Amino acid sequence: MENPLKENIISDTIFPVILSVPQTKKSLKGRPMVKYLSEYARRAVEISAEKNNINLSDVNLVKNSNGVPISFNDYFWSLSHKSDFVGGVVASYRIGIDIEKVRTFTSGLYKKTASEKEWNLSEDDRAVLFFRYWTAKEAVIKAAGSGLKDLLRCRIVKIIDKNNLVIKYNDKEWYIECFVFNGHISSIVKNDKKVKWTLLE
């Protein structure tokens, strides 16, 4: 039976939400910090659902034993969290979101993230491009429910513009949109959808 809630979704748009971590919580360390960020990222997922008229009042946002979010009522969700920002999204298809802070990185990690052919697709600043590629590939891996071991199997095959690119993974093309904000980059699997980002600071 078709899920009646599906009628309420704005079918051509997804609403990724990014929340700034409150200053009062940044003093947390270790497991308490990880627990807080995970719960706060779920708040971003809830706001994303609200923006798409999806009711989460009776839904528990839980992951399976491999850390993959479990779908609910034919909807999929994804989240990401860093020390300064968390993000979340709900969609009617397998979705992935990732956030990273633009920072220095090693040459070894550079080589492990993409091939020279991929790097040569763009002349953008390498630091920004690195995290654009990294978050894009992470978003695909999350959507596919696989792990970092598959990072190099995700290949950037086309740069559409400053915010959009195409990845080939598992014989499928994945369309990705990125969002640059406050020294961070977030990427999301958009496929054929429009994306309306929300940043709440």
Name the phi and psi angles at 74, rounded to 5: 70, 15
Quick one: which H or E segment has residue 131?
A: helix 126-144
CATH of the domain at 196: 3.90.470.20
Domain that holds residue 138: 4-200
pLDDT score recorded for residue 11: 66
Question: By percentage, how much of the chain surpasses pLDDT 70?
Answer: 95
Residues paired with residue 17 on neighbouring β-strands, in sequence order: 88, 198
pLDDT score recorded for residue 190: 96
Domains contained in the chain, number? 1
Mean pLDDT in the chain? Answer: 92
**Range 15-19 average pLDDT:** 98
Q: How confident is the model at residue 2 (pLDDT cuts 50, 70, 90)?
A: very low
Residue 186 carries which side chain, given as an amino acid letter? S
What are the contacts of 120-125 at 24+ separation with CB within 8 A? 121/156, 121/158, 121/159, 122/159, 124/162
- Least confident span in 1-10, 23-32, 165-174: 1-10
Query: What global pTM score does this model have?
Result: 0.92
- Least confident span in 9-13, 38-42, 84-88, 104-108: 9-13
Beta-strand relationship, 184-189 and 194-195? unpaired
- Of 63, 66, 68, 61, nearest to 44 by C-alpha is 61
| Contact in structure between 45 and 90 (CB atoms under 8 Å) | yes
Predicted confidence (pLDDT) at residue 192 exceeds the cutoff of 50: yes
Number of H helices, E strands in the chain: 4, 11
Predicted confidence (pLDDT) at residue 3 exceeds the cutoff of 90: no
Residue listed under structure tokens 């980059």: 185
Predicted confidence (pLDDT) at residue 7 exceeds the cutoff of 80: no
pLDDT score recorded for residue 117: 95
pLDDT digits (tens, 9 = 90+) for 86-136: 999 999 999 999 999 999 999 889 988 999 999 999 998 888 999 999 999
Residue listed under structure tokens 């999204």: 89
pLDDT score recorded for residue 35: 96
